[in-house]
């Protein structure tokens, strides 16, 4: 169970908890913090203790000379560097006593991380709506736009979290991909028709995401587990070992195809409808790239491009179109839909 913070959010950002050892370098709480954060200005740390900004789980200031072993943890506010406002805006789609739903634009992170703190959907909404206890029920990558749902009621939050854990939320995405050029001497229309004739289809794979590695990895599925639904396990006759098959599954259908009128003006593109049964990191991007139809402007798949500043004119052409579910509190069917359109879609 999460330990409740004794400090309220400040500027929409939660206080940070630090676990303390029972003994260690320095012998005191301040000594431990100075050793743990040796890369941080030590005078700044000492000033925080002197001002009473480092507190225990009851919100009481911890004296600098407090021996290790007295407290299990401490709480403090992190110093947040200045952030330039991102030139994108979210759209409030729904708000009631339990839920807040927005359309998140491309390039806006869902939650704080790395160099983004204030310029995230969560912190923006806490500050805008005055709801310190707002919590996301799921997340979208910074590069992906679309519907994101937040809980604003701790009493019912667990019921909504269970919807996502039990895959009881129907998620619909859209993506735009470039159609590969036809071989010399091949009719463009016939080539496009042949490529798209295989849809609709279901992609299954085993995806692994390693901490600190930008891209997810697709692993080979044992023959004994091939073809089974995501999450299925199977035992072979010769072995009592259980093999894990696919852990990622997406149904893909063609919505329309034609010429882009966006940045890719005149290029042949196709707009896909994507229905993921699972939610692995970069799952949709990996599945389309594996079909030779990588999402337009994807810097990760099929090829990892060099890091570059955000190009607002070329956002990843991936959109979380809608979320649908049976409300666990009221029992009513609910659906939230993004009004946005992918700029490179066929016109």
> Quick check: 174 pLDDT over 80?
yes
Give CA–CA dist 158/60, Å, rounded. 30
The tens digit of pLDDT for each residue in 253-277 reads 999 999 998 999 989 999 999 999 9
Count CB-CB contacts under 10 A for residue 288.
Answer: 25
Residue 241's pLDDT is what? 45
> Quick check: 12 pLDDT over 60?
yes
Residue 240's pLDDT is what? 47
Average pLDDT on 101-113 reads 96
The tens digit of pLDDT for each residue in 180-222 reads 988 877 788 888 889 999 999 999 999 999 988 889 999 887 6
The answer to whether 25 and 32 are in contact (CB under 8 A) is yes
The tens digit of pLDDT for each residue in 328-338 reads 999 999 999 99
The tens digit of pLDDT for each residue in 280-314 reads 999 999 999 999 999 999 999 999 999 999 999 99
Q: Which of 5-19, 94-108, 132-146, 218-232 has the lowest mean pLDDT?
A: 218-232
Percent of all residues in the chain with a pLDDT value above 70, rounded to a whole number:
93
The answer to whether 80 and 13 are in contact (CB under 8 A) is yes
| Preceding omega of 200 cis (within 30 degrees of 0) | yes
Q: Would you state the torsion angle of the CA atoms of residues 314, 82, 92, 255, taken in this order, to the nearest 10 degrees?
A: 20
Q: Is 114 exposed, middle or buried (0-12, 13-18, 19+ CB in 10 A)?
A: exposed
Residue 335's pLDDT is what? 98
> Quick check: 229 pLDDT over 80?
no
Give CA–CA dist 273/292, Å, rounded. 16
The tens digit of pLDDT for each residue in 47-99 reads 999 999 999 999 999 999 999 999 999 999 988 778 899 999 999 999 999 99
């Amino acid at each position: 169970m999460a330990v409740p913070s004794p400090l309220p959010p400040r500027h929409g950002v939660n206080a940070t908890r630090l676990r303390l050892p029972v003994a260690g370098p320095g012998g005191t709480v301040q000594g431990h913090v100075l050793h743990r954060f040796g890369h941080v200005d030590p005078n700044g740390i000492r000033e925080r203790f002197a001002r009473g900004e480092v507190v225990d789980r009851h919100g009481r200031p911890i004296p600098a000379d407090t021996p290790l072993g007295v407290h299990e943890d401490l709480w403090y506010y992190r110093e947040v560097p200045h952030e330039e406002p991102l030139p994108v805006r979210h759209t409030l789609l729904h708000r009631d006593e339990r839920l807040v739903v927005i359309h998140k634009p491309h390039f806006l992170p869902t939650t704080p991380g790395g160099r983004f703190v204030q310029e995230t959907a969560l912190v923006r909404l806490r500050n805008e709506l005055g709801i310190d206890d707002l919590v996301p029920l799921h997340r979208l990558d910074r590069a992906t736009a679309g519907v994101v749902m937040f809980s604003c009621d701790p009493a019912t939050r667990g019921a909504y979290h269970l919807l996502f854990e039990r895959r009881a939320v129907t998620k619909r995405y859209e993506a735009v991909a470039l159609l590969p050029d036809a071989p010399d001497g091949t009719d463009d229309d016939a080539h496009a028709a042949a490529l798209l004739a295989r849809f609709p289809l279901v992609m299954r794979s085993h995806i692994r995401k390693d901490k600190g590695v930008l891209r997810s990895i697709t692993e080979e599925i044992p023959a004994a587990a091939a073809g089974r639904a995501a999450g299925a396990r199977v035992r072979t006759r010769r072995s009592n070992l259980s093999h894990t098959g696919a852990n990622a599954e997406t149904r893909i259908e063609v919505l329309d195809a034609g010429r882009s009128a966006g940045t890719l003006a005149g290029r042949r593109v196709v707009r896909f409808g994507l229905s993921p049964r699972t939610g692995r990191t970069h799952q949709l991007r990996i599945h389309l790239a594996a079909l030779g139809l990588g999402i337009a402007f994807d810097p990760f798949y099929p090829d990892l491009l060099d890091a570059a500043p955000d190009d607002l004119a070329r956002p990843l052409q991936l959109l979380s179109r809608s979320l649908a579910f049976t409300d666990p509190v009221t029992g009513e069917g609910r659906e939230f839909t993004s009004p946005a359109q992918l700029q490179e879609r066929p016109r």
